[in-house]
Structure 1
Amino acid sequence: MATLIESVVTHDAAACRASRHARVQQLITADETSLVDLETLVATLPICSTGRVFVEVPDASWIFDLTVPARMIVTWLDRSARTGDPGTGRACAPGQALARAVIAWADEMLCTDADEACATRIHLLGGFLGTADIADHLTGTLGVDQSAVHTPARFGLATAH
């Protein structure tokens, strides 16, 4: 977990209030297997962080009040309330709701290197299936540098942290 903490810029509340303070957009994903890592990571974020946290869980009983900086939004994805691939009638597989939501958000909202006023930190903490699909989309389709995508080392994807 130390590497996750080291990758977050540290600064104080006064710096966050400064009018010329650069805002860093965060994209964070997790599932029921990574909730402790998620809580640890968001606890280290500067109060001025912006962005999204997407968390996929098996059902609504897993949802809790996750404290994030005021400019961030948490989206809980209840797998039991979602369907799998369109037209199949199957249940939503682990990682499927997370990948669909994050890819849709990233296609529309993710800051890119071309946008000099914005930088994005990406931490994909969920299970392998959703994380692999998201990392592939970010690096392959959107052209995000692999070094900007932080994933668990055990997955062997992008940059492990």
Structure 2
Amino acid sequence: MTTSTEHNAAACRASRHTRVQHLVTADETSLVELETLLATLPICSTGRVFIEVPDESWTGLVTAPPRMTLTWLDRSRRAGAPGTGRGCAPGEALARAVSGWAGEMLCADDDATRVVLLGGYLGTAEIVDDLTSRHGVEASAIHTPERFGLATAR
């Protein structure tokens, strides 16, 4: 039995249509990149979008395919590293959210999750390290902004 990879309305409704899970991260510096990426995904895309912002004034309307869950991470409402008494640093909420998500969702050896990490360098580098070292994701399967120089596929 083969599954269709064509992405049109009829194909997306078919029960045998291949659906690849997506993991997408962004922060307040990459909202335009995020909107552009989400606009290019097929309507039948599934997965998770995490967006870290400084405070709730940054939250707004972001359009994602209906089967994708979007979560805003407000740094002003989160604590920093345990025991430090500090506030949440840029990238910290994203790294925690992705680590928790990956622990639950990346459990199959043949997982084909598409990972796109937008946003700041520190959070992105920490997420890449966590996904590759703790969760066995190949670095070549993680897409990051080229300007970061992280060893990932383009």
TM-score normalised according to structure 1 size? 0.88
8 Å contact from structure 1 (residues 10, 46) kept in 2: no
Mapped to 2, the partners of 1:29 and 1:111 lie a distance apart of: 20
Alignment counterpart, residue 123 of structure 1, candidates 109, 113, 116: 116
8 Å contact from structure 1 (residues 31, 125) kept in 2: yes
Alignment counterpart, residue 43 of structure 1, candidates 35, 39, 51: 39
Could you say if the C-alpha distance between residues 154 and 160 of structure 1 is closer, same or farther in structure 2, counting changes exceeding 3 Å?
farther
Report what 1:6 is aligned to: none
Report what 1:147 is aligned to: 140
The one-letter code of the counterpart of 2:116 is: H
Q: What stretches of structure 1 move > 3 A for 4+ residues in a row?
A: none
Quote the RMSD (CA, aligned, Å): 1.5
After superposition, the C-alpha distances for 1:44-100 in whole angstroms (9 at most, x for unaligned) are 111111110000000000001111111110010000011101111101100001100
Mapped to 2, the partners of 1:79 and 1:131 lie a distance apart of: 16
Alignment counterpart, residue 93 of structure 2, candidates 85, 94, 97: 97
Report what 1:136 is aligned to: 129
Mapped to 1, the partners of 2:150 and 2:134 lie a distance apart of: 16
After superposition, the C-alpha distances for 1:106-143 in whole angstroms (9 at most, x for unaligned) are 1111254x24xx52110000100110010011111111
Alignment counterpart, residue 102 of structure 2, candidates 99, 106, 109: 106
Report what 1:5 is aligned to: none
Mapped to 1, the partners of 2:29 and 2:99 lie a distance apart of: 20
Residue 86 (structure 1) aligned with residue 79 (structure 2):
no
The share of aligned pairs that are identical, in percent, is 71
Tell me how far 1:158 sits from its aligned partner. 3.2
Extract unaligned runs of 5+ from structure 2: none
TM-score normalised according to structure 2 size? 0.92
Residue 157 (structure 1) aligned with residue 153 (structure 2):
no
8 Å contact from structure 1 (residues 135, 158) kept in 2: no
After superposition, the C-alpha distances for 1:22-50 in whole angstroms (9 at most, x for unaligned) are 11100000000100000000001111111
Extract unaligned runs of 5+ from structure 1: 1-8
Could you say if the C-alpha distance between residues 32 and 10 of structure 1 is closer, same or farther in structure 2, counting changes exceeding 3 Å?
farther
Report what 1:75 is aligned to: 71
Matched pairs, number: 150
Mapped to 1, the partners of 2:16 and 2:147 lie a distance apart of: 39
